[in-house]
Amino acid sequence: MSGGPRLHRASFSAGLRWLPAGAELMFRAPAGMIGIAALWLLLTMVAMLIPVLGQLLLVLFTPLLTGGVLLAFDKVRQGQTPGPVTLFAGWSDPPRRVGLILLGSFSLAGSMLAAGVLIGWLGSQLSPAELEAVSASPEALAQALAGANLGPGLLLAALLFSLVLAALFFAIPLILFGQLQALTALLASLRAVIINWLAFLGFGLAVMAMAIGLGVILALLMALLGLALGEAGMVLIQLLILTVTMFVQMLMAGAQYVAFCSVFGWHPGAGGDDSDERDDQLVA
């Protein structure tokens, strides 16, 4: 990105468009995107089969894999069809690989900190006897949670996790396309999200609408398959859930790429402002 990232203030309407624009990019090269999505989902499922270590590795390498998906969207925008191995494109360049893995470490540490805050708050709400009972009985845990004041703890944990997500959102493409260092990218991403809070409000509303729509459709299809096919329908339901998961995963990555182009003026092959398509203001 020539001269470094140039931060813009995107509008509310621009944020609303990020999700459908990501979908439009995804459907420009459906075969290539399906291959990438299937490989990404396969790796996720394999990692989930390995207790503890698999989940930790998944969090650690998710920014690197996400970077590959963002590069796939970048190729599609240039009129190319990405192959499945594009998912691992972030691994090929050592500086970017290190930066993306550092982001994974930050994500892991931030998630653990948020969880630790929530657990610490819960522990402060329970007596030693209740803590001992909770460790031995799920029913006791449910009773303890019903009587505990989780509001402040949940709020603080959610705030910490939101800051982690905000710092990561643009940090991945800033390292991949802007070639920034990890810490610089995290800070730039956090600043960009805060400045563009109105655009992210629009984006959040679009995501909520998509989630509600997909949820209703999925629930209806699951009910119909269960009634029509009985136990045999359960296999189709599982395949349906995997397909929807794969679709949402790619769609969110597409929206992330479009948001990066909107907020930082990224244009494939040029590294400059895509000013003809902009609805925003340059931020010094």
Closest CA to 5 of 260, 277, 279: 260
DSSP 8-state assignment for residue 9: E
pLDDT tens profile 178-192: 999 999 999 999 999
Closest CA to 15 of 263, 213, 187: 263
171 and 185 Cβ atoms separated by less than 8 Å: yes
73 and 29 Cβ atoms separated by less than 8 Å: no
Report the alpha-carbon distance of residue 99 to residue 276 in Å, rounded: 31
For the chain, which residues make up each domain, given as ranges? 8-282
pLDDT tens profile 227-284: 887 777 788 888 888 889 889 999 999 999 999 999 999 988 654 444 444 455 656 4
Q: Which residues of the chain have pLDDT under 70?
A: 1-5, 125-150, 269-284
**Residue 128: what are its φ and ψ, rounded to 5°?**
-55, -40
Report the alpha-carbon distance of residue 183 to residue 27 in Å, rounded: 34
Would you state the pLDDT for residue 122? 74
| DSSP letter for each residue of 165-222 | HHHHHTHHHHHHTT---HHHHHHHHHHHHHHTHHHHHHHHHHHHHHHHHHHHHHHHHH
Query: What's the whole-model pTM score?
Result: 0.86
DSSP 8-state assignment for residue 4: S
Closest CA to 125 of 109, 104, 146, 101: 146
